[in-house]
């Protein structure tokens, strides 16, 4: 049993303005409150292992206070060094230091490796981890993904943080690099009191494993007897703070409340431990994560040193008094540090024989004091064994209880899956349904295929030592930048800040049994990696519900697509109807063209008849009238030929002629040609008259008759021309109409064709969507199958767990037997002692 080593360190004044005399008098290892300018003041004076003034370096603090703890850790003792004090009093400076004056952590790391170098008879394995407790949540500083980690306890590892990254290191530089990377992730913040105030407690942990080396023929060999495992914690606590002074609000205020609360619980634990063993009672380690992690260091199996930092300024006198009270209580706490060795059976036997031999020798030497101590030690061991047994029994009970709960949940899951499979079978294809049913049957009957799938992987995301589930983690960077955001709900309003601070500083301890602010952490017995059953089942429920929803959505989509398909078919039919209508109209257009050509040929015939009749009037073929009629007949024929030429393509290709050769030009052209012909006839007749009868006389009988004839012809011609013109206009109108009709038909046809194309495309895309949704549905059913597989794997895993628990119970009963025999042996030894007339020490009582 040894007392915790406690020292006080006074930091230098923050500024020259604040230097208004010294209020603390230091004499050797005593510190007392003095008024400024050496005026004595009444008040307690505190004595500690060491008191370091403003001029003291970190190296000296390390040398005098921490070095022994660190050296002992290399030898197999658990060790803890931590800095405690109000905000801005120099805790981080003490633990981390500066380049010029490295802090305790760096000096300790260096010292550990130096010591290892000089320990030639043992081989070492060092693992390091770095965590912070921020707002009562444990975050891994080596790996930002690992947040909100949980504390567990096991026989092999004691109290440990599950999922915390541990790095195996070979030298001090490697550790320094890791520390630097971890510092980046630590929560710092600015307050009125400190520009870089730690907003979390940090714990740098070194696990030192070692075993003896054996020299066989010059070669180094390891004996496998005993392995020493010690844990060294270097802790930089966040400082207690008075909200009125720090001016904290929002996030800072919340942080401050958490800091004050956990420091108050630490104070309560120290208080309880500082009381005599009889008054002590329940120690509230479980009230905060900090005290839970530091449990072995506080009154347990560890060597511990505490450096309490204080600020010299007048404004901090009250806080300094509080820190000194904490330090003086801590001074009264005793620990029981032992070398931690894991022994093999052979080594255990050897060790016990040695112990018995030692006892015998001591008995022979009749050193009563030594014997008393030994008996006390044995008694303590016995008590520890008893405690362990009780703990194991409790854990077993809890495990059985949770096993029952798990089984219940599993049954519920089965029912849900069956419901889901029914749903699938009613909505999905028969094939899928059959697969699911078959699988369910297999699942219930427990085919060997299950066990294969179990071994593959743990789909439940069971938290393991190195792999924490990513989905569980909220990246620090996501919230640390947001002012006013804190991942914890504010539940501390009733206990935090001023009141807490005052309680802490007055040394007032609230009723510990009534403080149950943090929920008691449930045991995770036997297997630290076992998932919480309720959480796993909830996850299953969610997954199943999700799958069900997705299936419903897929079915809905499928229905929607089928509806669209039906609409598409209707549209298609409509389009086909319109197309046949269009074809009918096109046929009608063709018929119109035929009728047109017919009426044209009849017109041509009428015209030919009229022309032949006119030609019949004058028998002289060479007379100017006959010539004129011939010209007119030619013109008429040309006109009809042009009309025929225009109509032919309409009948053959159903295409229209271009605008530049429209029929509208022809009447003018024909009129011109006719006028030319008449002029020609007139000039011919004039020249003929002058040749035969000399100069013309206006009243000559032959001339007059000719003129009359000409006028009649002209009149007849004009009449014929008008008839032809009328017919031509009529035909042209008819042609224009049918052209327009054709144009419209063409337009409509093109529009319908486009519509048809668009609808076809839409139909294609709908078909695509249908196939995609079918795929989705099959994917969903596949996923469901996977979930079923996973579930069966989990069932199997739980069976294994049960099996292991059984084995564990057997091992436990063996151990109990061993304890009983040990107890018997001890009893017989005592009886032997009594028989040899040595009085049994009073402190020892039979169990």
Ligand X SMILES: Nc1ncnc2c1ncn2[C@@H]1O[C@H](COP(=O)(O)OP(=O)(O)OP(=O)(O)O)[C@@H](O)[C@H]1O
Distance in Å, CB of 11 to ligand X, minimum: 4
Token pair in block for residue 814: 């063996």
Count Cβ atoms within 10 A of the Cβ of residue 463 and give its class: 0-12 exposed, 13-18 middle, 19 or more buried.
buried
Q: Is residue 90 annotated as involved in ligand binding? A: yes
Count Cβ atoms within 10 A of the Cβ of residue 630 and give its class: 0-12 exposed, 13-18 middle, 19 or more buried.
middle
Three-state secondary-structure class, residue 161? strand
Of the candidates 33, 46, 82, 93, which one interacts with ligand X according to CB under 6 A? 93
Q: Is residue 103 annotated as involved in ligand binding? A: no
Distance in Å, CB of 840 to ligand X, minimum: 52
Distance in Å, CB of 132 to ligand X, minimum: 12
Strands (E), 237-310: 303-310
Q: Is residue 462 annotated as involved in ligand binding? A: no
Strands (E), 135-239: 137-140, 150-154, 158-162, 167-169, 188-189, 197-198, 201-216, 219-236
Distance of CA 455 to the CA centre of its chain: 27
CA dist 806 → 413, 509, 792 (Å): 25, 44, 21
Interaction of residue 85 with ligand X, rule CB under 6 A? yes
Nearer to ligand X, 196 or 768 (CB): 196
Interaction of residue 91 with ligand X, rule CB under 6 A? yes
Contact track, ligand X, 143-182, x by CB under 6 A: ----------------------------------------
Of the candidates 22, 66, 80, 87, which one interacts with ligand X according to CB under 6 A? 87
Of the candidates 203, 238, 670, 713, which one interacts with ligand X according to CB under 6 A? 238
Q: Which residue has the tokens 């006198």?
A: 317
Interaction of residue 727 with ligand X, rule CB under 6 A? no
CA dist 27 → 38, 89, 237 (Å): 13, 21, 27
Query: Residue 161: how many CB atoms within 10 A of its CB?
Result: 21
Distance in Å, CB of 32 to ligand X, minimum: 21
Count Cβ atoms within 10 A of the Cβ of residue 526 and give its class: 0-12 exposed, 13-18 middle, 19 or more buried.
middle
- Please list every residue from 517 through 536 that binds ligand X, using CB under 6 A: none
> Strand pairing partners for 149?
138
Query: Residue 838: how many CB atoms within 10 A of its CB?
Result: 14
Interaction of residue 106 with ligand X, rule CB under 6 A? no
Interaction of residue 689 with ligand X, rule CB under 6 A? no
Instruction: Report phi then psi at 433, rounded to 5.
Output: -60, -45
CA dist 501 → 41, 96, 260 (Å): 24, 26, 7
Nearer to ligand X, 17 or 369 (CB): 17
Interaction of residue 501 with ligand X, rule CB under 6 A? no
Nearer to ligand X, 326 or 629 (CB): 326
- Tally of residues, the chain: 847
Nearer to ligand X, 197 or 210 (CB): 197
Q: Which helix (H) or strand (E) holds 798?
A: helix 701-835
Span interacting with ligand X, options 194-202, 487-495, 598-606, 779-787, rule CB under 6 A: 194-202
Nearer to ligand X, 198 or 432 (CB): 198
Instruction: Report phi then psi at 525, rounded to 5.
Output: -70, 160
Interaction of residue 11 with ligand X, rule CB under 6 A? yes
CB 199 within 8 A of CB 188: yes
Of the candidates 12, 469, 689, 700, which one interacts with ligand X according to CB under 6 A? 12
Interaction of residue 194 with ligand X, rule CB under 6 A? yes
Distance in Å, CB of 91 to ligand X, minimum: 4
Contact track, ligand X, 197-216, x by CB under 6 A: xx------------------
Distance in Å, CB of 498 to ligand X, minimum: 18
Q: Is residue 86 annotated as involved in ligand binding? A: yes
Q: Is residue 239 annotated as involved in ligand binding? A: no
Of the candidates 66, 78, 92, 295, which one interacts with ligand X according to CB under 6 A? 92
Q: Is residue 361 annotated as involved in ligand binding? A: no
Contact track, ligand X, 760-779, x by CB under 6 A: --------------------
Q: Is residue 91 annotated as involved in ligand binding? A: yes
Which residues, in sequence order, are CB contacts of 10 under 8 Å at separation 6+? Answer: 24, 26, 51, 52, 53, 54, 309, 310, 311, 312
Q: Which residue has the tokens 């120290």?
A: 270
Contact track, ligand X, 291-330, x by CB under 6 A: ------------------x---------------------
Span interacting with ligand X, options 84-92, 129-137, 321-329, 675-683, rule CB under 6 A: 84-92
Measured over the CA atoms of residue 30, residue 34, residue 39 and residue 44, the dihedral's sign is negative
Distance in Å, CB of 179 to ligand X, minimum: 16
Which residues, in sequence order, are CB contacts of 572 under 8 Å at separation 6+? Answer: 759, 763
Which residues, in sequence order, are CB contacts of 604 under 8 Å at separation 6+? Answer: 640
Interaction of residue 239 with ligand X, rule CB under 6 A? yes
Interaction of residue 421 with ligand X, rule CB under 6 A? no
Span interacting with ligand X, options 80-88, 523-531, 600-608, 660-668, rule CB under 6 A: 80-88
Token pair in block for residue 737: 């109409």
Distance in Å, CB of 257 to ligand X, minimum: 15
Interacting residue ranges for ligand X, rule: CB under 6 A:
11-12, 85, 87-93, 194, 196-198, 238-239, 309
- Binding site as annotated, residues: 85-92
Q: Which residues define the annotated binding site for ATP?
A: 85-92
């Amino acid at each position: 049993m040894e007392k915790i080593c406690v020292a006080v360190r006074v930091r230098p004044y923050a500024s020259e303005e604040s230097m208004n005399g010294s209020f603390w008098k230091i004499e050797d290892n005593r510190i007392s409150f003095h008024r400024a300018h050496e005026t004595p003041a009444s008040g307690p004076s505190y004595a500690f292992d060491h008191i370091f003034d403003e001029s003291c370096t970190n190296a000296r603090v390390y040398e005098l206070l921490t070095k022994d703890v660190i050296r002992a850790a290399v030898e197999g003792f658990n060790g803890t060094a931590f800095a405690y004090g109000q905000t801005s009093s120099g805790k981080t400076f003490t633990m981390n230091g500066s380049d010029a004056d490295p802090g305790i952590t760096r000096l300790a790391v260096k010292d550990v490796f130096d010591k290892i170098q000089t320990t030639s008879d043992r081989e070492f394995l060092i693992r390091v981890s770095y965590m912070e407790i921020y707002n009562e949540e444990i975050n891994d500083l080596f790996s930002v993904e690992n947040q909100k980690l949980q504390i567990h306890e096991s026989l092999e590892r004691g109290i440990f943080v599950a999922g915390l990254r541990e790095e195996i290191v070979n030298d001090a530089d490697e550790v320094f690099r890791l520390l630097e990377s971890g510092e980046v992730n630590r929560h710092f913040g600015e307050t009125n009191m400190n520009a870089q105030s730690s907003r979390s407690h940090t714990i740098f942990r070194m696990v030192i494993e070692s075993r003896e080396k054996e020299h066989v023929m010059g070669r180094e060999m390891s004996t496998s007897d005993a392995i020493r495992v010690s844990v060294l914690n270097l802790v930089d606590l966040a400082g207690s703070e008075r909200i009125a002074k720090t001016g904290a609000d929002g996030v800072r205020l919340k942080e401050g409340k958490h800091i004050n609360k956990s420091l108050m619980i630490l104070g309560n634990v120290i208080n309880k431990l500082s009381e005599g063993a009889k008054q002590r009672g329940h120690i509230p380690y479980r009230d905060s994560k900090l005290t839970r992690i530091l449990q072995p260091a506080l009154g347990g199996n560890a060597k511990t040193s505490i450096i309490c930092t204080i600020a010299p300024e007048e404004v901090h006198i009250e806080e300094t008094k509080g820190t000194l009270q904490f330090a003086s209580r801590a001074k009264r706490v005793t620990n029981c540090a032992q070398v931690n060795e894991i022994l093999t059976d052979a080594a255990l036997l050897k060790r016990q024989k040695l112990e018995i031999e030692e006892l015998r020798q001591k008995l022979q030497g009749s050193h009563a004091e030594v014997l008393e101590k030994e008996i006390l030690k044995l008694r303590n061991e016995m008590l520890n064994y008893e405690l362990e047994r009780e703990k194991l029994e409790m854990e077993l009970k809890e495990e059985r209880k949770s096993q029952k709960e798990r089984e219940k949940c599993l049954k519920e899951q089965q029912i849900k899956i069956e419901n889901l499979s029914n749903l699938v079978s009613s909505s999905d294809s028969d094939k899928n349904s059959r697969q699911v049913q078959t699988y369910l049957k297999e699942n219930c009957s427990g085919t060997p295929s299950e066990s294969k799938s179990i071994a593959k992987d743990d789909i439940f995301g069971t938290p393991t030592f190195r792999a924490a589930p990513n989905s569980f983690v909220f990246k620090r960077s996501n919230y640390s930048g947001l002012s006013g955001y804190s991942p914890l709900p504010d539940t501390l309003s009733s206990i935090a800040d001023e009141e807490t601070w005052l309680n802490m500083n007055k040394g007032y301890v609230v009723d510990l049994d009534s403080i149950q602010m943090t929920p008691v952490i449930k045991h995770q017995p036997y297997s630290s990696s076992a998932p919480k059953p309720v959480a796993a089942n909830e996850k299953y429920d969610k997954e199943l519900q999700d799958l069900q929803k997705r299936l419903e959505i897929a079915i809905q989509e499928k229905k929607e697509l089928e509806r669209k398909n039906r609409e598409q078919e209707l549209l298609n039919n409509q389009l086909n109807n319109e197309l046949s209508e269009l074809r009918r109209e096109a046929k009608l257009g063709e018929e119109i063209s035929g009728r047109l050509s017919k009426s044209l040929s009849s017109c041509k015939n009428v015209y030919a008849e009229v022309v032949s009749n006119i030609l019949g009037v004058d028998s002289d073929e060479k007379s100017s009238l006959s010539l004129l009629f011939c010209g007119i007949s030619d013109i008429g024929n040309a006109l009809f030929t042009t009309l025929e030429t225009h109509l032919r393509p309409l009948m053959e290709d159903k295409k229209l002629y271009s605008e530049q050769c429209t029929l509208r030009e022809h009447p003018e052209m024909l009129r011109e040609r006719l006028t030319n012909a008449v002029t020609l006839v007139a000039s011919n007749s004039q020249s003929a008259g002058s040749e035969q009868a000399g100069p013309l006389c206006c009243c000559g009988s032959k001339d007059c008759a000719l003129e009359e004839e000409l006028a009649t012809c002209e009149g007849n011609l004009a009449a014929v021309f008008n008839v032809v013109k009328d017919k031509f206009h009529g035909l042209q109108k008819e042609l224009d109409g049918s052209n327009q009709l054709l144009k419209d038909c063409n337009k409509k046809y093109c529009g319908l064709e486009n519509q048809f194309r668009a609808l076809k495309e839409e139909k294609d895309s709908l078909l695509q969507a249908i196939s995609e949704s079918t795929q989705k549905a099959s994917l969903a059913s596949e996923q469901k199958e996977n979930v079923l597989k996973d579930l069966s794997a989990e069932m199997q895993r739980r069976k294994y767990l049960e099996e292991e628990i059984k084995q564990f119970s057997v091992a436990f009963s063996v151990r109990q037997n061993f304890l009983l025999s040990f107890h018997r042996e001890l009893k017989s030894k005592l009886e032997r002692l009594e028989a040899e007339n040595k009085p049994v020490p009073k402190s020892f009582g039979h169990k």
